[in-house]
Amino acid sequence: MTQLHVLNHRHSPLEQEKARRSGRVALVDSVAQLSDEDQATLRQILTQKYEFVDHASFHQPDAEQKIFEEAPAIQRPDTSWYHPVMDNLSDHREARAGGTVLLTAVEERALFLQFNYCRFRVCQLKVEIGSASVRSDPAREMLSWHRRAEGYREQIAQTNLALVLAMAKRTRMSEVDFADLVSEGNMALLRAVDKFDVARGFKFSTYACRAILKAFSRSGVKLSKYRQMFPTDFDPKLEKSDYFDRKREDDELGCVDELRRILQQNRADLSDIEQEVIQHRFAIGSEEDAARSLTLEQVGQIIGVTKERVRQIQNKALDKIRQTLESNYL
φ, ψ of residue 26 to 5 degrees: the values are -70, 125
Rounded Cα–Cα distance for residues 182 and 177 (Å): 9
The C-alpha torsion from 244 through 247 and 253 to 256, rounded to 10°, is -80
Residue 10 pLDDT level (bands cut at 50, 70, 90): very low
pLDDT digits (tens, 9 = 90+) for 269-325: 888 888 888 888 887 755 444 457 888 888 888 888 898 999 999 899 889 888 887
Mean pLDDT of 29-43: 78
Does residue 156 have a pLDDT over 90?
yes
Q: At what angle do helices 136-159 and 36-47 cross, to 10 degrees?
A: 90
Rounded Cα–Cα distance for residues 132 and 24 (Å): 9
Rounded Cα–Cα distance for residues 29 and 23 (Å): 20
pLDDT for position 279: 83
pLDDT for position 198: 92
Rounded Cα–Cα distance for residues 137 and 143 (Å): 10
Judged by DSSP in three states, 11 sits in coil
Nearest-5° Cα angle at 104, 102 to 107: 105
Does residue 72 have a pLDDT over 80?
yes
pLDDT for position 289: 47
Mean pLDDT of 231-258: 73
For residue 258, the one-letter residue type is: E
Rounded Cα–Cα distance for residues 124 and 134 (Å): 14
Rounded Cα–Cα distance for residues 38 and 303 (Å): 89
Spatial contact of 123 and 5, defined as CB atoms under 8 Å apart? yes
pLDDT for position 290: 47
pLDDT for position 329: 60
Reported residue count of the chain is 330
pLDDT for position 254: 73
pLDDT for position 210: 92
What pairs with residue 133 in β-bridges?
26
Highest mean pLDDT of the ranges 67-71, 97-101, 114-118, 226-230? 114-118
Please state whether the predicted TM-score (pTM) of the whole model is above 0.85.
Answer: no
Percentage of residues in the chain having pLDDT higher than 70 = 76
Judged by DSSP in three states, 52 sits in strand
Residue ranges of the domains in the chain?
A: 4-166, 243-328
243-328: CATH topology: Arc Repressor Mutant, subunit A (1.10.10)
Per the model's pLDDT, the better-predicted residue between 191 and 39 turns out to be 191
pLDDT for position 4: 44
pLDDT for position 174: 66
> Judging by beta carbons within 10 Å of its beta carbon (0-12, 13-18, 19+), is residue 142 exposed, middle or buried?
buried
> Judging by beta carbons within 10 Å of its beta carbon (0-12, 13-18, 19+), is residue 1 exposed, middle or buried?
exposed
DSSP-H helix ranges across the chain: 13-22, 36-47, 63-64, 89-99, 105-129, 136-159, 161-171, 178-195, 204-229, 236-239, 243-265, 272-282, 296-303, 307-328
Distance of CA 68 to the CA centre of its chain: 38
Does residue 261 have a pLDDT over 70?
yes
